[in-house]
Amino acid sequence: MTRTAVLAIHGGAGTILRAAMDLAAEQSYHAALRDVLAAGQRVLADGGSALDAVSVAVRLLEDCPLFNAGHGAVFTSDGTHELDAAIMDGRTLEAGAVCGVKRVKNPIFAARRVMEQSEHVMFAGAGAEAFAEKQGLEIVDPSYFHTDARYQQLLKAREAGKALLDHDAAALASAQDIPHEPIDPNRKFGTVGAVALDLHGHLAAATSTGGITNKEPGRVGDTPLIGAGCYANDATCAVSTTGSGEMFMRMVVAYDVSAQMEYRGVPLATAADDVVMNKLPRIDGRGGLVAVDKYGNVTLPFNTEGMYRGYARVGEAPVTAIYR
């Protein structure tokens, strides 16, 4: 089989609100996804590593306020931001992660430094920030992560008296003319991620998130947990997930896709569909994933009505989608 380098990304999953669709918003999401894919595609086309491609892609997703990661991160119940990220190299099975960081501009870069410049896999909170600062990564004032739309979501979530997945609070504010998004704010899971296969045959995965609106400080979901929100193994596949974090943790979703390929001998799409469509719903797990195998096959399954997603093969035009 001829192998072609490829990158796939996601920016959250949820339920479509067609009746309230804003065409301009829809177009902005497609444009953002295409820009990210094009940047990662250039890395791969130039012979860059899968690790570099997913790092670039997730960094750009973190910098885009449309997505719940980095600059677009949601607020905790304390009115702060706690960011999580993870990355894994399928060639070596090395991995790095950070959780609960509040001042690191791009958490995915911190996760990569943990993998490459430490003996550990995960750093948390103040320790993660101190490590990132020692590594020379960009440290910002917490106000950098503030966006008005996310703050309005926090206020509405506080009124509702509960933690809400990503844009849930926006639904409560719809009567106040807060703009709708292509994904129903009541059913939107906010995580960003990327997976890639490079020209050298190596795989990598990366995932980043701002968590849940109005969450209790200190809560950590699946994103920074290797095997739950992120996994890569050159022998099988690379996976990045988005969804109801607690359920994805309990199902060890990302690793399960790889394990089914290895132990059952099934192809990528079969393994991913089983996890997303059969196993997760048993515990009310909602969301999806993007994955690529060692042959360059790509799958992007989700059990919600939609998922921000796309993929780009070297030499071909990027493909983006939101709906089922």
Binding-site positions: 219-222, 242-245
Sign of CA dihedral 178, 181, 187, 190: negative
* Residue numbering of the annotated binding site for substrate: 219-222, 242-245
Closest CA to 170 of 305, 280, 288, 22: 22
Give counts: helices (H), strands (E), the chain. 9, 13
What whole-number distance in Å separates Cα of residue 25 and Cα of residue 313? Answer: 26
Closest CA to 257 of 283, 277, 243, 237: 237
Looking up tokens 């089922």, which residue turns up? 324
How many C-beta atoms surround the C-beta of residue 263 within 10 A?
10
Looking up tokens 């809400």, which residue turns up? 164
Cα 128 to Cα 99, 132, 134, 274: the distances in Å are: 7, 6, 10, 35
Q: Is 34 helix (H, G, I), strand (E, B) or coil?
A: helix
Bridge partners (DSSP) of residue 287 are 243
What letter does residue 276 receive in the DSSP assignment?
I
What whole-number distance in Å separates Cα of residue 3 and Cα of residue 317? Answer: 17
Annotated active-site positions, please?
191
| Residues 115, 94 contacting (CB under 8 angstroms) | yes
Cα 84 to Cα 68, 267, 292, 303: the distances in Å are: 11, 30, 23, 24
